[in-house]
Amino acid sequence: MSVLDGRLLNSASVWASTKEDLVALYKCAYTGAVTVRTSLLNGFAHDDSTHQYCFFDAGSMDFFHKDIYTTEAQSRLEVERVSSLNTLGYSPVALKDYIDIVKSIGQETGGKPVIFSVTGTVPEIVECYHLLALEVERDGLEWMMEVNLSCPNIDGKPPPAYSKSQLLQYLAGLQTATLSASTMKIGIKTPPYTYQGQFDDLIDALLETTSGGSSCPISFITATNTLGSSLVLDVANNCPAICSPNSSGIGGLAGAALHPLALGNVRTIRRMLDKHVELGDISIVGVGGVSDGAGYHRMRNAGAAAVGIGTALGSYGIDIFEKILNEATALSENKGEGK
């Protein structure tokens, strides 16, 4: 059984970037774990003028930027319907700095499972693993590493998890790294898959790591990241709603508009994992458009062991976790009473 089973947590997003963000997530009584925004060994060159996000209603396509997301805007965008678009990359904070931040928060607030989301080349990911595993083994920390292979917003670098050959390179690197017998769990974050061949490549790559009696190095899959090639238009000004490094305003779609696809990914991956005894113990963290108790139950029913929250955290704030769990509990009680 995964340490994450049944837990509600945040996904790796811009709303888990700063120490203040992470402290709030740590202190929230309704988060079962905390995920740190995806980082690199040396940080990402973030630029506010081109790395942006907005919230929007997928029905009306009304949108709001973060700096004008007011109480009036929130009343027009019900949290259950909120979607988001972003042209963000990764965190400007380096992994080593996040390690120091999380250690200091843990000392101040007490322990909680933490997922460090990381990315980079295969050698860089291996180095990330060794940095984190050293802390885990030395201090007995409940830390995990999520390898983000799915960001759609990096020009010239398509998500590696869309390529079986690239997936195999990362898995081989991780398999070699884990020969040190560290107890730290490793996961991968996948992009939204849209046809069967993509799911087949994922499962085939995972299975190849088990040849010759070896164990798969992956303990969990976070499904799913944002859907690339998406656009929100500012019709009044005849331009994209947000900027991007290549000036197109095209970025990654998340929130309510992604929810059906995220559910389909979780269901498909879960069923395919369960067909292979070598992969059956891999858990899924379901991410994509959950903003209420019903969405939490849908994601769990699709096969997610845990549920991650991104857009709803950004649009509603830290209280979203209490809202979701209270609604989920009420729905479970009503179902149990036959209401």
**Which of 188, 123, 124 lies closest to 160 in space, CA to CA?**
188
pLDDT band with cut points at 50, 70 and 90 for residue 69: very low
Before 224, cis peptide (omega within 30)?
Answer: yes
**What pLDDT, on the 0 to 100 scale, is given for residue 77?**
56
State yes or no: pLDDT of 109 exceeds 80: no
Quote the CA–CA distance of 278 and 272 in Å, as a whole number: 11
pLDDT band with cut points at 50, 70 and 90 for residue 78: low
> Whole-number mean pLDDT of the chain?
92
**Mean pLDDT across 273-298:** 97
- State phi, psi for 231 to the nearest 5 degrees: -145, 135
State yes or no: pLDDT of 105 exceeds 50: yes
**What pLDDT, on the 0 to 100 scale, is given for residue 219?**
97
User: What number of CA atoms fall less than 13 Å from residue 219's CA on the CB side?
Assistant: 17
**Mean pLDDT across 203-212:** 96
What is the DSSP secondary-structure string of 10-50? Answer: E-SSGGG-SHHHHHHHHH-TT-SBEEEEEE-SS-----TTT
State yes or no: pLDDT of 246 exceeds 80: yes
Percent of the chain with pLDDT over 90: 82
Percent of the chain with pLDDT over 70: 94
State yes or no: pLDDT of 168 exceeds 50: yes
**What pLDDT, on the 0 to 100 scale, is given for residue 60?**
86
Quote the CA–CA distance of 46 and 124 in Å, as a whole number: 19
Q: Which two tokens mark 247?
A: 């000036």
State yes or no: pLDDT of 308 exceeds 90: yes
